Structures are given as structure tokens and as C-alpha cells.
Amino acid sequence: MILDATAGYRMMWANKNDSDTIYLDSRKEVKPNLVALWQFLPFQNDFFDLILFDPPHDKPGPRGIFRQKFGALNLDTFHIDFWQAWRELFRVLKPNHFLIFKWCETRRKLHTVISLCPYKPLFYNLFKGSKSSNETMTFWVVFRKG
């Protein structure tokens, strides 16, 4: 069983209706399988084989297209939200299974976000944007629950 903890419109999915995946989002307008917060997951311990975690950007405009498509982080509760999210995501992940995390450095650096995580990354890959995208850097990070 797979959990996409921040599914949104499922834009990264080739199969947007995979029967082994729970598409979770806090926004009912994006039509997830389950409306819930990634900081408080309604699943038993050690349930998922794979978790995808692609949280919203932390710098969208108040009414911009990024906010509509991807949602937005609460900057006032950022550290608490991520601390809770990491603990919940790893709680519901089976031992020796994987969590894939995607992070775009717009305001917060990758090391700030993963410093709140109880597990160290196995590896990551960097995609560096073009000058037209203000040199944004998107990281794909793989964790394994020990």
C-alpha cells in the first residue's frame, strides 16, 4: 500500500488512480481519496510500503496559481508542522520501507526541513531550475525507516 500524503491534483502521477495508493490531501476541492492533515494521519502504525511527501511551497502569493495548485504552508507553525509530519509519516511507514520527499528551496533550505526529521536521508538528487525560474532548487530525497 502506498500513501501520497500531499496528493493535490496528482500531477506527478502517471496513473492518477492507482488502486494501491491512498491519495491524501487537506483540501477537499482537489478530490483526494481521503481528506486529512499530514501532521495527523488516521492510519495504524507500520501500515504503508511507500510514502510520497511533496509538501506545498512556503512562498506562494496570497491568491496566486501556486497556492491554488499546491496549497501553502503556515509559516507561523512551520517547524511544529514538519516535526509532527515527520513523526506521523514514519509512524505509519513499515520498517525497512521508503519515504520519498520532494522539496523546493524557495525560502527554507533543505537542511532546515530535514533537520526536523528523526531519520537521516539515504540519498538525494538535486534539480536546479533555470535563471527564468530564479534558480530554484528542487530536491528528491529518499529515506528508509530503520
The string of pLDDT tens digits covering residues 82-131 is: 899 999 999 999 999 999 999 988 778 899 899 999 999 999 886 665 55
pTM summary value: 0.85
Q: Is pLDDT at 74 greater than 80 in this prediction? A: no
- DSSP 8-state symbol, 132: G
pLDDT for res 70: 52
CA-closest candidate to residue 144, choices 111, 110, 95: 95
pLDDT for res 121: 96
The string of pLDDT tens digits covering residues 119-143 is: 999 998 866 655 555 566 889 999 9
Domains of the chain are: 2-144 (3.40.50.150)
- DSSP 8-state symbol, 55: P
